[in-house]
Structure 1
Amino acid sequence: MKNLAYVDPPMTERIEGKTYLMAPCPRPSHNVIAGNIFSIFHHYLKGKKCRAFGDNMDVHLDNENVYVPDVMIVCDRTKIHRDGLHGAPDLAVEVLSPSTAQRDRGPKMRHYAAAGTKEYWIVSPLGKSVEVYLGENGQFCLDYIYYAEYPEDELARMEDSERASLRHDIPVSLYDDFLVSVKEVFEDVDDFL
């Protein structure tokens, strides 16, 4: 009998020429968050030029680097081929897992930036945070870290002006009116942490 938890052939990513097996079953919190983000992106992008894609689509940045982001937005549809995306997505999202965090923050982040990805999100299920990086001259610069919730003791230590300046909506750089609520990114995730 075939073990249905594994994909045949197994999903892989190629990072700097080295092939890595992808975990066949991410944690439920990972799937909930990625699903929430895809749903938000998909809903907003209906009828627009750009398109949202979820997990299971290869991104061929070059021969040495083939990734499978958790969620992405692609605006240049000529890059989409039967075997995946050839070139940089406009926005890529990686939901952190203990086994992949170092690669997501290291070589993958560098290669997405060098290839021309405009925006890169690193989402932490445990920290309930979204780090937003914007592309600039082939590198990413941290724009802001958004939190779904702040501990009461942290809020108590902040000045009124600091509390007032906290941001709760992520402006997606691809459109002037595209805001993503951080709370919606983490909606229903508490049941799966």
Structure 2
Amino acid sequence: MGEAAYKEAPWIELIDGKVFMMSPRPRPAHTNIAGNIYYLFQNYLWNKPCRVYADGVDVYLDEKNHFIPDVLIICDKSKIHTDAIYGAPDLVVEVLSPRTEQNDRTKKLQAYARAGVKEYWLVSPLARSVEVYLQQDGQLVLDTVYHDIPDWEYEKMEPEGQAEIHKDIKVSLYDDLVIHIRDVFHKDDL
């Protein structure tokens, strides 16, 4: 079997009417982190009205913005169609990669804000951090940055420094949905 047999059609996104290739495919750490987040949301949302979807689901915000987020939560089932999601998800997670980070931080963030996404996460595998943006008057505004700091480093910090480290992500969609930062990066040692 030749190399061509393993070639896949590239995934593309449409951002402000311009086509962007999403290749190369995600690295194992990227996929592991997105999988952890999906698993945490899926366990919590089981038998609840909102649904979680993982990488590979198309989201059509409007005619000029078609994205494939790493993880998303939808609470309005009328937006869920057999081929894709049509309309703004309630929560979107993008795991950053060098190829897509600039768009995730700028153009996509702005498009998600305009569409009415309530919460947007930017997850950095390299920094082992999660930036949480919340909807405020048509804008997604940075609320908190969470860091997965090794225990040995945390224990060496002064109490004031420890107090500045946020470890539990309070998800805005549910009052009792809290994700521990260590669980986001669980088993990610690559």
Same fold (TM over 0.5): yes
Question: In structure 2, the residue corresponding to 1:26 is in which secondary structure?
Answer: coil
* Distance in 1 of aligned mates of 2:104 and 2:24: 17
Deviations 1:100-157 (A, max 9, x none): 000000100000011000000000000000000001111011111000115967875x
In structure 2, the partner of 1:184 is: 183
Structure 2 residue identity aligned to 1:79? K
- Runs of 5+ in structure 2 lacking a partner? none
Q: What are the superposed Cα offsets for residues 46-99 of structure 1, whole Å, 9 maximum, x if unpaired?
A: 000101100111110000000000000000010011221110000000000000
Structure 1: gaps of 5 or more residues: none
1:130 partnered with 2:130: yes
Question: Contact 1:12/1:19 (CA < 8 Å) preserved in 2?
Answer: yes
Task: Kindly state the Cα deviation for residue 24 of structure 1 after the two structures are TM-superposed.
Answer: 4.5
The residue identity in structure 2 corresponding to 1:185 is: V
Aligned residues: 188
Contact 2:154 2:162 in 1 (8 A): no
Paired with 2:14 and 2:74, the residues of 1 have a C-alpha distance of 20
Matched ranges for 1:101-120 at <5 A: 101-120=101-120
Separation in 2, partners of 1:155, 1:111 = 40
| Aligned-residue identity in percent | 48
User: Match of 1:132, SS?
Assistant: strand
Q: Provide closer, same or farther for how the CA distance between residues 110 and 155 of structure 1 changes in structure 2, counting only shifts above 3 A.
A: farther
Question: Structure 1 length normalisation: TM-score?
Answer: 0.91
Q: Which amino acid aligns with 2:27?
A: R
Shift of the alpha carbon at 1:163? 1.2
Number of the residue aligned with 1:96: 96
Length-normalised TM-score, structure 2: 0.93
Corresponding residue for residue 16 of structure 1: 16
Please, which moves more after superposition, 16-25 or 145-154? 145-154
Aligned to 2:170: 171
- Measured on the aligned residues, the alpha-carbon RMSD in Å equals 1.7
Conserved 8 A contact 1:7-1:24: no
Return the letter of the residue paired with 2:57: M
Q: Residue 170 of structure 1 aligns to a residue in which SS?
A: strand
How far did residue 160 of structure 1 move?
A: 1.5
Q: Which amino acid aligns with 1:73?
A: I
Which position in structure 1 is the counterpart of 2:25? Answer: 25
The residue that corresponds to 2:160 in the other structure is: 161
Which one-letter code corresponds to 2:127 in the other structure? G
